Amino acid sequence: MTQTEPKSFAELSLREALFNNLATLDYTVMTPIQVQSLPFMLKNEDVIAKAKTGSGKTAAFGLSVLNNLNVESYFVQALILCPTRELAEQVSLALRQLARLMPNVKISNLSGGIPMKVQLDSLKHSPHIIVGTPGRVQKHLDKESLSLNNLQTLVLDEADRMLDMGFYNAIKEIISACPKQRQTLLFSATYPDEIKKLAKQFMRHPKEVLIETTQAEYDIEQCFYEVASPANKFAVLKSILLHYKPRSTLIFCNTKQQTTDLTEQLKKMGFSASALNGDMEQAERDLTIVRFTNNSCCILVATDVAARGLDILELPLVINFELAFEPDVHIHRIGRTGRAGNKGLAISLTTPADQLRISMIEDNLIHPIQWGKISGLTTRDTKIPTPEMITLCLAAGKKDKIRPGDILGALTKDAGLPGDMIGKINIATLHSYVAIHHSQIKKAFQYFQNGKLKGRKVTIKNLR
């Protein structure tokens, strides 16, 4: 950091409402990505930023977009494109939190999996900021239900994954609907040639901000286990899960088919496991993510693309069932654990054929790779961990003006459940999800079958 770079938000030219809100959120010292990118973004310059998930990039571009917003002008001023609905929802929530002291800021989510009618109704009164996925934004442009004629800022969040998912042409079409005179911000965890090509085509003299990620930034222990062939991996995976008995585990595979096959193997052995890949319907993806983040499912087997946008602060174990092809992707994977001050463990299963990839990964590490001994995995206790929580789905959501406090109050005050037996509460458009400790699930289920939520009966089901 040079002396000319700001260290705290107080040194930036932010509008008063944003600055006061940051104080209430305990945002004082900026992260490296914020230090290096915000001064450029606040001056309306184009920026290419390479930074990992959890680096504070959403707050960086969010503050810039909100600071430059003209709240009195009712047209779309900023468009933020994300690879998945899950990430789009996270970004929307983060922006609303940052904007809560700015009155009348309207933010709409245009993502796949959300009913078109809900989105069309939202667009009748033009929002200031659109957050969405390329496919759905493109559909609204085709239907002429969305105009970007007055757009001032375009943000491509996790651009590398959007390209991996085949959105290049969709992004090109969306950009062609934007004014040529605009600010373009491109954020990416990796920096492949496709990103350079995209930047060259659509950005104006962008400032480059590269936040190098090393193992030292994480509180993570890494361990590699080598097996003779891919066929031997599952036995070692089972031994790892029985040895460590983690509350939750994210397992990475390189193909959609591998996620499905591995999940079925794990379920046959009695493990609580779910697959997450791009072939799944959006509704199925949503329920899978809800169950995993609510600790109602112990193991999630996912591809890199599907795992983007997962909001999990405490993840004790990440396993690379297959090594990533790029070192940057490996770093991004293991960065899912060891977050928010927690210690993490990342384990990789390899074969002799992986030697080149292992060498590339080791080049990015401070210390030599640590190799584990399979014989050292203790599996005498063969009891398979089961989920602590069970998730209930209520047929009432944002459309019914349901808030997390309504559900929490009903369960603690009316049903008599201890507060520490209630976990994460997610409110979607038409449904709400609440995690309940398995010891209290019968009591909670009976309450919602017989009682009311905000004065009305709601249908309830157990997510399994």
Pair of tokens at residue 50: 């390479």
Sheet holding 273-276, edge to edge: 220-226, 344-350, 317-320, 249-252, 299-302, 273-276
Give the model's pLDDT for residue 53: 65
Task: Identify the architecture of domain 389-462 in CATH.
Answer: 2-Layer Sandwich (3.30)
| Rounded Cα–Cα distance for residues 54 and 61 (Å) | 14
The matching CATH number, chosen from 3.40.50.300, 3.60.9.10, 3.40.50.740, 2.40.128.260, for 9-210 is 3.40.50.300
Asked if the domains 9-210 and 215-376 are classified in one and the same CATH topology, the answer is yes
Q: What is the pTM of this model?
A: 0.70
116-128 in b/e form (b: 16+ CB < 10 A) is eeebeebbeebbb
Q: What is the pLDDT along the chain (464 residues), one digit of tens a residue?
A: 444 566 788 888 899 999 889 888 878 788 889 999 999 999 999 999 987 666 789 999 999 999 999 999 999 999 999 988 888 988 998 999 999 899 899 999 999 877 888 899 989 889 999 999 999 999 999 999 999 999 999 999 988 888 888 898 999 999 999 999 999 999 987 777 888 888 888 999 999 998 765 444 457 889 999 999 999 999 999 999 999 999 999 999 999 999 999 999 999 999 999 999 878 887 788 889 889 989 999 999 999 876 666 667 678 999 999 999 888 788 878 888 876 567 789 999 999 999 999 998 888 777 788 999 999 998 777 889 899 999 999 999 888 889 898 999 999 988 999 999 999 898 888 889 999 999 999 999 999 888 888 888 889 998 87
Three-state DSSP at 407 gives helix
Question: What is the token pair recorded at 6?
Answer: 């700001």
Query: Environment class of residue 456 by beta-carbon count within 10 Å: exposed (0-12), middle (13-18) or buried (19+)?
Result: exposed
Dihedral angle over CA of 279, 284, 285, 290, nearest 10: -160
Q: Which two tokens stand for residue 392?
A: 């209930």
- Helices 57-67 and 85-98 meet at what angle, rounded to 10? 50
**The predicted structure's pLDDT at residue 3:** 43
Closest by CA position to 150, among listed 80, 42, 75: 75
Q: Rounded to an integer, what is the distance from CA 71 to the centroid of its chain?
A: 28
- For the chain, what are the domain ranges? 9-210, 215-376, 389-462
In DSSP terms, 182 is beta-bridged to none
* Angle at the Cα of 192 from the Cα atoms of 188 and 194, rounded to 5 degrees: 95
For 374, the token pair is 């399979």
User: Positive or negative, the Cα torsion across 10, 13, 16, 20?
Assistant: negative
Enumerate residues 6+ apart whose C-beta is below 8 A from 441.
390, 392, 462
The residues with which 115 forms a beta bridge, in sequence order, are none
What backbone torsions phi and psi does residue 97 show, to the nearest 5 degrees? -65, -45
pLDDT attached to residue 38? 94
Closest among 403, 420, 402, 424 to 412, alpha carbons compared: 420
Using DSSP's 3-state secondary structure scheme, residue 224 falls into: strand
CA distance 115 to 336: 31
User: What kind of fold does domain 215-376 have according to CATH?
Assistant: Rossmann fold (3.40.50)
Q: What is the dihedral of CA 61, 64, 66, 67, to 10 degrees?
A: 170
The three-point CA angle 176-304-223 to 5° equals 145
Return the pLDDT at 308: 66
Identify the H or E element spanning 62. helix 57-67
